[in-house]
Amino acid sequence: MHHGIKLAVIPDETYSEYRYETIFKAYKWDPQVEDHNTVSRYVILMNRETAHQLEQWAEKLSEETMLMEEAFLKDFSPAKELGLPKQIIRALPRLTGYKREEHVRLMRFDFHPTETGWAISEVNSDVPGGFAEASVLPEIAGRYFDGYGPHRNIAQSLFEAYRSRIKPGGRVAFVHATSYSDDRQVMQFIGDYFASRGMETLFAAPDHIRWKERKALSIAEGQDGPVDGLVRFFPLEWLPNLPKNSDWKGYYDCETPSCNHPIAVFAQSKRLPLVWDSLGTDNAAWKELLPPTKDPRFLREQDAGWILKPALGRVGEGISIPEAVGEKELRQIAKAARREPRNWVAQERFRSQALPGGGGGSFHLCVGLFTVNGKSAGFYGRISPYPRIDDKARDIPILVAQGE
């Protein structure tokens, strides 16, 4: 095993059945990106020691992140360095009433096996995805590998967090871009999970939620009325683009238990490391696991091993890894970073350790580790033939050795 993990193959005679179940039981309604099949034939087999170590790191990273967020509430001035849109900067003062214990704080830390050990590339702080892939895929794949099985269930962790914060049978709104099937499938999975356990659920666009005395109300046709909890799968930087009558800033001082509360915006920026030292918090795990990071304006010729990332980039877009992008895109990224350096970050590149697969090929792996209110909540895997995990990466179940 490399780093306590190895690739294994779903047997050819069962792959069609596995893919069929993935589509219809794991909410993978559109298992293609362009002409790429995103349902991998592979699974990751992980030993218990590695699983335990990654969970320990993720929980420490989660706690450090939440302490940084609370430091921002005392002084918003460092946030100007995060590359956030002006509309969001102006909304930040509405966060001051935030109380960690009243909301549900969900994060996903992306770990990568490298030539020198494990490293993280980022935290998906605002609207992390991969819930069904982390919960259902391992249950399906586990039937084919004796001695290995699922390890935690993110849907269960989210449900239990809401059950402790709202009344029995409470009403939870799942907020997302309703015209996108890939967003709906994420929310449908969690919504169905909650509904099967006695909660009332509704699916709403972000401008279907209004506010009365800082409490959420739905105005969706046939689903109007008070809401006891919010699960938002709509990026914060998109909210200012909503119709002017939407009052999107109401999300920022909402008292209805929310996942995620907009407090998540700080850590969503890849420029967060640039302001660590001004926050007065202990960021030891972050500093151990995240490669050195700096403002693109301070790159020098000797920094040839560094890459550029957009401050608010998602799904691997805009990351200047030469093996993954063409010369034209590399030039475009460099030009954009020179023109608007506050919207970008430079980071020393780690060397992803490719894992050998069947047929002589090899794949680069990302292990996403969810935390809910600081506690480990499940693994989400993706693999790619090149060392950038982007929208063409394939979902892969992560199975952990069972027993002692």
Rg of the chain's alpha carbons, rounded to an integer? Answer: 21
pLDDT score recorded for residue 329:
83
* Band of residue 33 on the pLDDT scale cut at 50, 70, 90: low
Residue 287 falls inside a structural domain: no
301 & 388 share domain? no
* Average pLDDT of the residues of the chain: 91
Please give the average per-residue pLDDT across 299-317, as a whole number: 81
Q: Based on the domain organization, do 15 and 58 belong to the same domain? A: yes
Domain holding 57, by residue range, is: 5-269+354-401
For residues 124 and 254, membership in a common domain is answered with yes
Say if 277 falls within a structural domain.
Answer: no
Same domain for 261 and 337, yes or no, is no
Looking at the fold, whether 360 and 333 belong to one and the same domain comes out as no
In a domain, 278, yes or no: no
Would residue 363 count as lying in a domain?
yes
Residue 233: pLDDT band (50, 70, 90) is very high
pLDDT on residue 358 = 67
Confidence (pTM): 0.94
Q: Please give, one letter per residue, the 3-state secondary structure of 185-250.
A: HHHHHHHHHHHCCCCEEEEECHHHEEEECCEEEECCCCCCEECCEEEEECCHHHHHHCCHHHCHHH
Flag the least confident range among 31-40, 54-63, 148-157. Answer: 31-40
Which one of 311, 326, 348 terminates a domain? 348
Mean pLDDT score, 122-128? 95
Residue 279 lies in a domain: no
Q: Is residue 326 located within the same domain as residue 377?
A: no
The predicted structure's pLDDT at residue 107? 98
Do 245 and 101 belong together in one domain?
A: yes
Q: Residue 46: is its pLDDT beyond 80?
A: yes
Residues 313, 189 share a domain: no
Same-domain status, 128 and 252 = yes
Q: Look at residues 304, 320, 348 and tell me which one is the last residue of a structural domain.
A: 348
| Residue 373 C-alpha from the chain's centroid | 14
Q: Per the domain annotation, does 336 fall within a domain?
A: yes
Instruction: Specify the pLDDT at position 210.
Output: 95
Phi/psi of residue 147, nearest 5 degrees = 85, 0
Residue with tokens 């956030």: 84
Tell me the C-alpha distance between 136 and 379, whole Å: 11
Q: What's 159's DSSP letter?
A: H
Predicted pLDDT of residue 246:
87
Residue 176 host element (H or E):
strand 171-176
Q: What's the number of domains the chain is made of?
A: 2
The answer to whether residue 34 scores a pLDDT higher than 70 is: no
Structure confidence at residue 404 (pLDDT): 63
Same domain, 343 and 396: no
Are 254 and 105 in the same domain? yes
| Predicted confidence (pLDDT) at residue 323 exceeds the cutoff of 80 | no
* One domain, residues 335 and 365: no
- Tell me the per-residue pLDDT of 350-362, one tens digit each, with 9 for 90 and over: 999 999 886 667 8
The verdict on residue 286 lying in a domain is no
- Residue 280 belongs to a domain: no
What 3-state DSSP class applies to 23?
Answer: helix
Structure tokens at 28: 């993978």
Q: d(Cα 87, Cα 356) in Å, to the nearest integer?
A: 46
